[in-house]
Amino acid sequence: MRGIVSFAVYLPYRRLDRSQIAPFVGQGGGKGTRTVASYDEDSTTMAVEAGRLALRGQPGRDRVTPNQLLFGTTFPAYADKTNATAVHSALRLPADALALDLGASVRSAVGGLLLALEGGPSAGPTLVVSADIRTGLPGSGEEASGGDGAAALVVGDDASGTPVIAEFLGRASVTDEFIERWRVPGEVRTKTWDEKFSEISLVPLGVRAWNRALEAAGLTASDVSAAAVSAPVARVAKSMGGKLDGVHVIDDLSATVGNPGAAQPALLLAALLEQAEPGQVVALVVLADGADVLLFRATDALGSYRPARTIAEQVAASGALPYGKFLGWRGMLQVEPPRRPEPGRISAVVASRNEDWKFGFVGSQEPDTGAIHMPPARVSRDGLHTDEMTPVGMADATGTVVTYTIDRMAYSPSPPVVFAVVDFDGGGRLPLELTDLDAGEAAIGQRVEMTFRKLFVADGIVNYFWKGRLVRNG
């Protein structure tokens, strides 16, 4: 049996209240909120966060080590260079594991899931992760309805330590060529044709795929307990939902999260699985340049499965972002930077040499004293021992703020910098930049966890490293 072994969603901390848009721009906006990736996040960092949660073990379940990583986004950090390699590195996957980017469309993200599900046992455990940042001009529908986030699905074969929680029953796909939405690579504005045209083009394809998928799985609509519909616009999703033979369609999170593009299919599958009972059949319907319908049956193992962080927890753990700041983060509003030198590009050579530290957050530990060095060192703190330390992964360690400061002069893409000296629970100290908090929230004694972020970009090179964030849930 092959299917979903584990899943996780990552929603960034910040929320834009859509009602802030119209008073500022004169148009656009709406009700509810959307998720906003922080200025220090991109599709790669969010993929890492979702991947970390999906791979995390839990009582009675082993940590999965995938031998394949498939990464889908419409908003990649790099072209020419593979983005999945940074995810692979940050997740400390084996060097022999394959890591690939999927093309920059929603369809490809679903395609990655299909490839993983239908790869057969020889494919082994596969981490399918999708992440997206949805852009758009101020006042546009895309800006208001979009969302940012990531979702990760571990696909594999049933095994004792890592049982399948949702068995893959079958699927159908339909492909068609029409210009529904488009974006020139490198631009931030997605253009769309006409919502009515989207509806009449996509919905019939979805109906066709729905019927064929049921047929392939030997099921009827009455066997399906719930469906989720991923579609480029709400109008299409609503219309499609009405053509699923009365099957219950779950909420698509548009009121709180928005539509996170390439991450929406996996986000909604995660939502389906969070709500499903063992034995129930669920359907994921995706409309994007065609249609894909995937059917799963929740196994008994789902009953004891607990997502590392539920969608509801992450929807609740959020902080408001003023619209002006949102525009600044998106580059739509250029804000005067601090009068400090902008950082230069990092050295590819040094970064490569220090990959375990930079991407994996791996320190070193002295064997006799237990002292932890971050960054890793070769010589013990007393200077007496060389090359006796062992690597120690610190990415999942939590710690406590010993002291902190707010730096109003340091360069940052979004000043001021909140900086804290953090002592980790198992030992080790590091002065860290904190993120996802307001300057006034910092305090001595706060609990901190690590998060993979984009520190700055120089000469097009993204400088990825780890920051701290307050433990707000889980």
Partner 1 sequence: MGSHGIKDRVAIVGMGCTNFVEAWGKGLDDMVIEAANSAYASAGVEKDAVDAYWLGTANGGMSGITLARPLQLQNKPVTRVENYCATGSEALRQASYAVASGAYDIAMAIGVEKTKDGGFQGLNAVPPPHDGTGRTLTAAAMFSMVAPAYAAKYGVDYDKMREAMAHVAWKNHYNGARNSRAQFRREVSIEQIVNSPKLAGDLGVFDCAGVADGSAAAIVVRAEDAHKYTDTPLLIKALSFVAGNGSGVTSPDYDYTNFPEIAATAKDAYAQAGITDPRRELALAEVHDCFTITELVLMEDLGFSERGAAWRDELDGVYDLDGDLPVNPDGGLKSFGHPVGASGLRMMFEAWLQLRGEAPPERQIEAAKPGGDRSLALTHNLGGYPGEMVSFVSILSR
Binding stretches for partner 1 (CB under 8 A):
338-341, 343-344, 346-347, 349-351, 353-354, 357-358, 371-375, 381, 383, 402-411, 417, 419, 421, 423, 427-431, 444, 455-456, 463-465
In the complex, the smallest distance separating the C-beta of residue 93 from partner 1, rounded to whole angstroms, is 20
Scan for tokens 């769309």, then name that residue. 192
Q: Bridge-partner residues for 259, per DSSP?
A: 146
Assess contact for 364 and 392: CB atoms under 8 A.
yes
Residue 374's identity, in one-letter code, is: M
Strands (E), 18-144: 33-36, 68-72, 98-102, 126-132
Closer of 79 and 444 to partner 1 (Cβ): 444
CA distance 41 to 34: 16
Write down how long the chain is. 474
In the complex, the smallest distance separating the C-beta of residue 116 from partner 1, rounded to whole angstroms, is 32
In the complex, the smallest distance separating the C-beta of residue 345 from partner 1, rounded to whole angstroms, is 9
Closer of 237 and 442 to partner 1 (Cβ): 442
**Structure-block tokens of residue 317:** 């753990």
Nearest CA-CA partner of 295 in 120, 210, 170: 170
In the complex, the smallest distance separating the C-beta of residue 354 from partner 1, rounded to whole angstroms, is 5
Closer of 192 and 364 to partner 1 (Cβ): 364
Closer of 305 and 456 to partner 1 (Cβ): 456
Residues 235, 238, 242, 244, Cα dihedral to 10°: 110
Assess contact for 344 and 40: CB atoms under 8 A.
no
In the complex, the smallest distance separating the C-beta of residue 353 from partner 1, rounded to whole angstroms, is 7
Closer of 276 and 430 to partner 1 (Cβ): 430
In the complex, the smallest distance separating the C-beta of residue 460 from partner 1, rounded to whole angstroms, is 14
CA distance 12 to 35: 6
Assess contact for 203 and 155: CB atoms under 8 A.
no
Assess contact for 191 and 182: CB atoms under 8 A.
yes
CA distance 156 to 167: 10
What sign has the CA pseudo-torsion 418, 422, 424, 429?
positive
Closer of 278 and 415 to partner 1 (Cβ): 415
In the complex, the smallest distance separating the C-beta of residue 445 from partner 1, rounded to whole angstroms, is 11
Angle between helices 234-241 and 195-217 (to 10 degrees): 40
Q: Bridge-partner residues for 392, per DSSP?
A: 363
In the complex, the smallest distance separating the C-beta of residue 418 from partner 1, rounded to whole angstroms, is 10
Q: How far is CA 351 from the centre of its chain?
A: 24
Closer of 210 and 361 to partner 1 (Cβ): 361
Assess contact for 120 and 168: CB atoms under 8 A.
no
Nearest CA-CA partner of 463 in 334, 338, 354: 354
Closer of 30 and 415 to partner 1 (Cβ): 415
Closer of 388 and 407 to partner 1 (Cβ): 407
In the complex, the smallest distance separating the C-beta of residue 325 from partner 1, rounded to whole angstroms, is 20
CA distance 225 to 239: 19
In the complex, the smallest distance separating the C-beta of residue 92 from partner 1, rounded to whole angstroms, is 16
Closer of 305 and 465 to partner 1 (Cβ): 465
Q: CA–CA distance from 251 to each of 228, 230, 258, 348, 420 (Å)? A: 8, 11, 11, 44, 39
CA distance 114 to 175: 14
**Structure-block tokens of residue 107:** 């369809």
In the complex, the smallest distance separating the C-beta of residue 371 from partner 1, rounded to whole angstroms, is 7
Closer of 164 and 417 to partner 1 (Cβ): 417
According to DSSP, residue 379 is labeled B
